[in-house]
Amino acid sequence: MPLLEMRGITKSYANGDVVTDVLRGIDLLVEKGEFVALMGPSGSGKSTLMHLMSLLDRPNAGSYLLDGTDMTALSDTERAKVRLDKIGFVFQAFHLLPRLSVLENVELPLVYARTSAAERTRRAKEVLAGVGLTERESFFPSQLSGGQKQRVAIARALVNEPEVLFADEPTGNLDTASSVQVLEILRDLTKKHGRTIVMVTHEEEAAAYSDRRVRMRDGKLL
């Protein structure tokens, strides 16, 4: 059974009397342990599709199953719990909290999950070691390079042991060397640890690290 299954997904936005169709009947399967690159030009609908897959928005029509459960039937509260328990996010702009240390930033999802302080620290240290940042635990985001910030963001996304990791242009703000480092971490998460990753990118070099490229244009899969 696929981890993610979308059938006939549509999404449109209304501005007064003007309706813009963004997604036009998307059918997409993502298997467990697969690294998928979602590609397309600006306006193709790839970011909208990721927002639907990560439960940040709802489709107008169609069905979406995550690990066999129909997400379109869930309430907002139930969807928020699924995001916390099963989904990790990595964004282009990092979204680290400047007044928290690296360790505290990584612990944050576990705070929301009401995990004990000792367990939070143990798990945060473990994932930080996995991205090579043990020596930066007490640093603040302002003391880190762009590549280090993104590795902290990856660690934060992984600390809840999610079923799927969504990465939205994760190398968009990074130099070449840092981009390679981040992409190698993502690739190793699938190859060595069986993580499922869906990454939005417009860069062919980044997509080359994935198992499969899914291309979009005008709200449809090519």
Residues 6+ apart with CB under 8 A from 141: 94, 96, 97, 98, 100, 102, 105, 149, 152
- Has residue 201 got a pLDDT over 90? yes
Confidence check: pLDDT of 18 > 90: no
Q: Is residue 21 part of a domain?
A: no
11 falls within a domain? no
- Indicate if the pLDDT at residue 91 is higher than 90: no
What does the pLDDT read at residue 116? 93
Which band of pLDDT confidence, cut at 50, 70 and 90, is reported for residue 8? very high
At residue 61, what are phi and psi to the nearest 5 degrees?
Answer: -155, 160
12: which strand partners?
A: 21
Instruction: Give the domain CATH number at 36.
Output: 3.40.50.300
Reported confidence tier of residue 125, pLDDT bands at 50, 70, 90: very high
d(CA 139, CA 143): 6
Read off the pTM.
0.91
Strand-by-strand arrangement of the 61-66 sheet: 18-30, 4-15, 61-66, 69-70
Q: Is residue 171 included in any domain, yes or no?
A: yes
**Is residue 95, in this structure, part of any structural domain at all?**
yes
Would you call 75 exposed, middle or buried from its count of C-beta atoms within 10 A (0-12, 13-18, 19+)? exposed
The residue whose two tokens read 């762009």 is 146
What is the domain range of residue 95? 32-58+75-221
Q: What is the pLDDT of residue 15?
A: 87
At 48-82, the pLDDT tens digits run 999 999 999 999 999 999 999 999 889 999 999 99
Report the percentage of the chain scoring pLDDT > 90. 83
Looking at the domain assignment, is residue 67 inside a domain? Answer: no
Number of structural domains found in the chain: 1
pLDDT digits (tens, 9 = 90+) for 143-183: 999 999 999 999 999 999 999 999 999 998 889 999 999 99
Give the mean model confidence (pLDDT) for residues 22-28.
Answer: 94
The mean of the pLDDT values for the chain is 93
CA atoms within 13 A of residue 175's CA, in its CB half-sphere = 5
What span, in angstroms and rounded, lies between the C-alpha atoms of 69 and 104? 32
Whether 15 maps to a domain, the answer reads no
Has residue 164 been placed in a domain? yes
CA 198 to centroid of chain Cα atoms:
6
